[in-house]
Amino acid sequence: MAERKVLVLFGSQTGTAEDTAERIGREAKRRHFQCRVEALDSYDVANLIHEPLVVFVCATTGQGDPPDNMKMFWRFLFRKSLAPSSLCQLDYAVLGLGDSSYPKFNFIAKKLHKRLLQLGGNPLLPVALGDDQHDLGPDAVIDPWLLALWDRILALYPLPPGLEIISADVWLPPKYILHFLPEDSPHPEGGLQLPAAPGAVPSQQCPFGARVVANQRLTAEAHFQDVRLMELDISSSGIRYSAGDVVMIQPQNCPEDVQQFCQLLHLDPDRLFVLEPTEPGTALPALLPQPCSIRHLVTHYLDICCVPRRSFFQLLACCSPSPLERDKLQELSSAQGQEQLHSYCTRPRRTTLEVLWDFPHSSSAVPPEYLLELIPPIRPRAFSIASSMLAHPDRIQILVAVVRYKTQLSKPRRGLCSSWLASLSPEQGDVQVPLWVKKGGMKFPADPDTPVIMIGPGTGVAPFRAAIQERVAQGKRGNYLFFGCRHRSKDFYCQAEWEELVAKGFLTLFTAFSRDQEEKVYVQQRIREQGRLLWELLSSRSAHLYLAG
C-alpha cells in the first residue's frame, strides 16, 4: 500500500493562509496521514520531486505579489532550467486566498497552479479561490473545496483497515510538549534573552533590540489622534537602510493583559518550562528562549489581543468541560455559524482575551501544551522609516499613529503595537524595541536633476521625510511635497522642518488643512490647482511621482 503522507506548504502574509494550512494538517491527521505543515521558504524545494502529495495554501499580497515567506520558492519554481516532467509523480491541490476588490485577485494561486501543471504535476481538483469580500469570507470556498479534496485523497489513499476518521471534537496530540521545571528552579542570569548570532544581520528569527532614544508627541494634546515621532538607536546592529525602506517591529502584550490571561487560565507567570517537539523534525519557535517562563511566552509570543479565527473556537471546544460553553463554541466554529461568529467577533473586533473571559470554564481547562496551537504568534508590524542615515547615522525614526477606536463593545479597541510603542519612554531606562529592516517598494532616482513629486497625507509623509532628508544631504533639489491633515495648529507633522527646507530652497511644499475653514480642502484639490506645474515636471523633466497613505 502506498505510504500515506501529505505535505501542506503555505505562503502567508497576515496569518490567514498559515491558519488554513494548520487546519488542513489537523484534518489530515484525523484521517491518519503522516503530515507536515511548513512555510514554503522553510521547505527545501529541491525535495519537491520526491513528494507524492502536496497541498499548497497561498495568499496574494499587494498588486499580485507572493507573500514574504514564499519568495525564494517562487523564484526557484520559475527557473527556465526546470524540466517539463520534473513533477510528474506529484499529486497536488492549490488553495488561494485573496480579495476580489483587487485587480490581481488570487494571482499567485492561479499562477502556481498553472506552473505546477507545466512541470508535470497532477492536479487533484481545480484551484480554489477564497475571497475576503464574500459575506462569509474565504471559508465560503474553503469548506466545500476541502470536502471534495478529502474525497479525492481518500479514493487514492483509503483509510487503513479498522481505522476511522478521528472526530473533530477529540484533541489531537499537541505539536510541542511543555516540560515544567521544578518551582524552585533558578531563573537564568540576565533574564530570558535570545542568543544573538554574532555578526548576523538582524532578521525576524534574530531581531535587534534597539534602544528608545526619544518618543515625542507631534499632535496637539487636545487633538483626538496621538501621533509620535520615535527615535531608535541601531548602533552596532549592522543595519543599513535607504529612503523607502521599512522597519519591522516585534511588539508585545501589556502587563495588565498578561496578568489577566494567566489568572484566567490558572497559570503561574514565573514558572519556567522547556519545549520539546512531539514529532522529530518539528522546529521550535524561533523567538522563544529555552528555558522560558510563562510570562515571557504570553508577553512576547502569544497574540492574546488578536481577533480569534474560526480554528480557535474549534480547538477551545475540544477542551471545554461545560456542555453549554462547548455547544456555543461548536456553533461558532461550524460552517453554519459563520455569520454569528462575524457578529460576535470580527465586526466588533473582540480579542482572544475577551473571548476567553466569555468562556471561563473552557479557558481554565486549556492544557498549557495546547496554548501554542490555540493562539497564534504575535506578528511583526511594518513602519515606513521616516529618517535618512545621512542625516541621522545609527538611528531609525518612525511616525506612529496610535490606533484607538470604538466599536459596539464598551471598551475602546487599541492597536497592539502602536499602544505599546507609545507607552515606551527613554526615562524608563534601557527600553528596547526588537526590530529588523526590509527593502521597501519605493526607489528614489539617483540622477540629481530628476524632480521628485511626493504626495503624503497624514502619516503617509513618513517615507518622504526619509527621502527628503537623503536628497537634501546629497544636495538634490527639485523636491515637491503635497501634505494634508486636519488643522495647521494640531497635526501638521514636522512643520518647522519643512518650513526651514522651503526657506533654504530645497523643498516646494503644498499643504491642505481640511478643517481650518468652512469648506473642506483636501490634497487632491491642491494637486488639481498645481496641474500645470505637475504636468510640466512629468512631461518635460521626467519627474518621478510617489504616493503614500
Spell out the residues 6+ positions from residue 329 whose beta carbon is closer than 8 angstroms to its own.
Answer: 313, 314, 316, 317, 320, 359, 362
Rounded to the nearest 5 degrees, what angle is found at the Cα of 526, between the Cα atoms of 524 and 529?
110
Residue 12: band (very low, low, confident or very high) from pLDDT cuts 50, 70, 90:
very high
Query: What average pLDDT does the chain have?
Result: 94
C-alpha–C-alpha distance, residues 338 and 325, integer Å: 17
CA angle, 423 then 358 then 344, to 5°:
85
pLDDT of residue 136: 80
CB 250 within 8 A of CB 209: no
Comparing 472 with 429, the larger pLDDT belongs to 472
Per-residue confidence (pLDDT) for residue 63, from 0 to 100: 87
pTM greater than the 0.75 cutoff: yes
pLDDT at 112: 98
Give the list of residues 6+ apart from residue 21 with CB closer than 8 angstroms, or none: 8, 9, 10, 12, 37, 55, 57
Write out the three cell numbers for 539.
Answer: 512631461
| CA–CA gap between residue 135 and residue 212 (Å, rounded) | 43
Q: Could you read off the pLDDT of 162-179 as tens digits, one per residue?
A: 999 999 888 899 999 999
Q: Which H, E and C letters describe 56-102, residue by residue?
A: EEEECECCCECCHHHHHHHHHHCCCCCCCCCCCCCEEEEEEEECCCC
Q: What are the contacts of 183-188 at 24+ separation with CB within 8 A?
A: 183/268, 183/271, 185/272, 185/291, 187/270, 187/272, 187/293, 188/289, 188/291
Band (196; pLDDT cuts 50, 70, 90) = low
Q: Are 322 and 361 in contact (CB under 8 A)?
A: yes
Distance CA 313, CA 344 (A): 12
pLDDT tens digits along 68-121: 999 999 999 999 999 999 999 999 999 999 999 999 999 999 999 999 999 999
pLDDT for residue 168: 87
Q: Which domains does the chain have, with CATH numbers?
A: 5-156 (3.40.50.360), 208-251+380-438 (2.40.30.10), 255-278+285-374 (1.20.990.10), 452-547 (3.40.50.80)
* Residue 20 near residue 142, CB atoms below 8 Å: yes
What is the distance between the alpha carbons of residues 460 and 455, in angstroms, rounded to a whole number?
Answer: 8
Is the pLDDT score of 197 beyond 60?
Answer: no
Per-residue DSSP letter, 446:
S
- β-partners of residue 436 are 248
3-class SS of residue 177: strand
